[in-house]
């Protein structure tokens, strides 16, 4: 099976590779530089979901993939504060895209305030951690969970949710 992933991000690609390996599904993983067609910093669940769907559908239309996966990270405002949110979409020709969401964590106000002012999470986290490339490595989730859950692990969970839904749909009698 050929699986296109709508990203060049190391953490997202690692997540897809690990999910398929752990589930013992043979797959050729093909990264595709896919646009999200949403803000650089998606600011709601809905916008983040749209980004994941757009990435998956772009991959499906612009590759030789059997299955396409779009992954998108964003934030969502609640009465409790600003939370990280992460969504994935799995697309196949002629089928409605599957969706799954991941872990959430409340962002410190120091970070949330900068995002509300229009900055993007990746550069903000690089500045906060005094390192570069956080979004391709542990991600904000890794920083704020002291490395207990990293970005690839969080996205791997989403991919397993998507694969499980796909498998269930293939086995359901019509």
Give the Å distances, CA to CA, from 5 to 20, 33, 60, 126: 12, 8, 9, 25
* Per-residue pLDDT tens digits for 91-148: 999 999 999 999 999 999 999 999 999 999 999 999 999 999 998 889 999 999 999 9
Name the band, by pLDDT with cuts 50, 70 and 90, for residue 169. Answer: confident
**DSSP letters for 15-49:** HHHHHHHHTT---EEEE------S-SS--SHHHHH
* Per-residue pLDDT tens digits for 31-85: 999 999 999 999 999 999 999 999 999 999 999 999 999 999 999 999 999 999 9
In b/e form, how buried is each residue of 62-91, taking b as 16+ CB within 10 angstroms?
ebebebbbbbbbbbbeeeeebbbbbbbbbb
Q: Is the pTM for the entire model greater than 0.85?
A: yes
């Amino acid at each position: 099976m050929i699986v296109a992933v709508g990203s060049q991000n190391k953490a997202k690609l690692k997540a897809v590779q690990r999910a398929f390996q752990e589930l013992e599904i043979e797959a050729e993983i093909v990264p595709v530089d896919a646009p999200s067609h949403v803000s650089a910093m998606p600011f709601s669940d809905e916008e983040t979901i749209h980004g994941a769907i757009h990435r998956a559908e772009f991959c499906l239309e612009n590759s030789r993939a059997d299955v396409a996966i779009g992954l998108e990270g964003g934030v969502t405002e609640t009465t409790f504060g600003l939370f990280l949110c992460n969504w994935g979409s799995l697309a196949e020709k002629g089928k409605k895209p599957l969706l799954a969401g991941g872990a959430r964590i409340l962002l410190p106000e120091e970070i949330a305030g900068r995002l509300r002012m229009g900055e993007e999470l990746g550069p903000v986290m690089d500045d906060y951690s005094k390192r570069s490339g956080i979004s391709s490595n542990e991600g904000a989730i890794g920083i704020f969970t002291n490395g207990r859950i990293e970005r690839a692990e969080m996205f791997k969970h989403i991919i397993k949710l998507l694969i499980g839904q796909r498998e269930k749909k293939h086995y359901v009698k019509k």
